[in-house]
Amino acid sequence: MHPNPIYHDADFARNLGFARERGFGVLAVNGADGPLISHVPFLINAEGTVAELHLVRSNPIARALKEPLAARIAIVGGDSYISPDWYGVPDQVPTWNYVAVHLTGTLALRPQEELQDLLDRQSAAYEERLLPKPPWKTAKMSDGVMEKMMRMIVPCQMTVTGMDGTWKLSQNKPDAVRLAAADQVRSSGFGTETDILSALMRGAGNGEVQGDK
């Protein structure tokens, strides 16, 4: 997360909405030999206080959860290199624009009997985005297959105690300078989701990122 507070002006609702919309992030906990990291899909409740996910039993994080652990989920969005030439003004330096939201809290295992419900709710949430395709449901699995697969994974829940977002969109630059860079981000295609990032940069000067104050 960038330390400059100007990039942390997005309100709670915007950060939560971003995390829920992405639904996928990098889970990290401290391990005996260094950080343990896993890429996970997750659900987060309306209040932003609980994130639910599942892990393969053999995952080092699952093995480490003999007791609850401090954890973080990093969710990232579009990103792009910003060339100093794009600003159209002198004495600038290269940088990288991006959007990221971090959830911090405590991760714990949940009872195995909660797994089926979690998987059903996860698949329902993701399948809804594919409408009008008929949603896939676990009931479509052959008898015994789902039960066998569920024995290999465990349900987990993260109690979220903190949420912070970095929306680094050149909002520290004059409007004309920021807009010039936004145009170049869109046309360069250097990064990920550059069209979305460019649109966010264009809106960064009129309060669309900061939210209601």
Could you tell me where the beta strands, DSSP code E, fall in the chain?
Answer: 24-31, 34-41, 43-44, 50-56, 69-82, 95-109, 153-168, 191-192
pLDDT of residue 2: 87
Residues 195 and 186: beta-carbon distance below 8 Å: yes
pLDDT digits (tens, 9 = 90+) for 68-126: 999 999 999 999 999 999 999 999 999 999 999 999 999 999 999 999 999 999 999 99
Q: Calculate the average pLDDT of the chain.
A: 93
pLDDT of residue 208: 42
Spatial distance between the Cα atoms of 39 and 150, rounded to a whole number of angstroms: 19
pTM (two decimals): 0.90
- Does the pLDDT of residue 213 top 70, yes or no? no
- Does the pLDDT of residue 130 top 50, yes or no? yes
pLDDT of residue 155: 98
Q: Which two tokens stand for residue 102?
A: 């971090």
pLDDT of residue 205: 73
Quick one: which of 2, 59, 72, 67 has its CA closest to 30? 72
Write the CB contacts of 83 (distance below 8 Å, at least 6 apart in sequence): 94, 184
pLDDT digits (tens, 9 = 90+) for 7-65: 999 999 999 999 999 999 999 999 888 999 999 999 999 999 999 999 999 999 999 99
Q: Hey, how many other C-beta atoms are within 10 angstroms of the C-beta on 211?
A: 13
pLDDT of residue 211: 32
pLDDT of residue 33: 87
- For 165-177, give one letter per residue: b (16+ CB within 10 A) or e: bbbbbbbebeeeb
Rg of the chain's alpha carbons, rounded to an integer? 20
Spatial distance between the Cα atoms of 47 and 5, rounded to a whole number of angstroms: 24
pLDDT of residue 38: 97
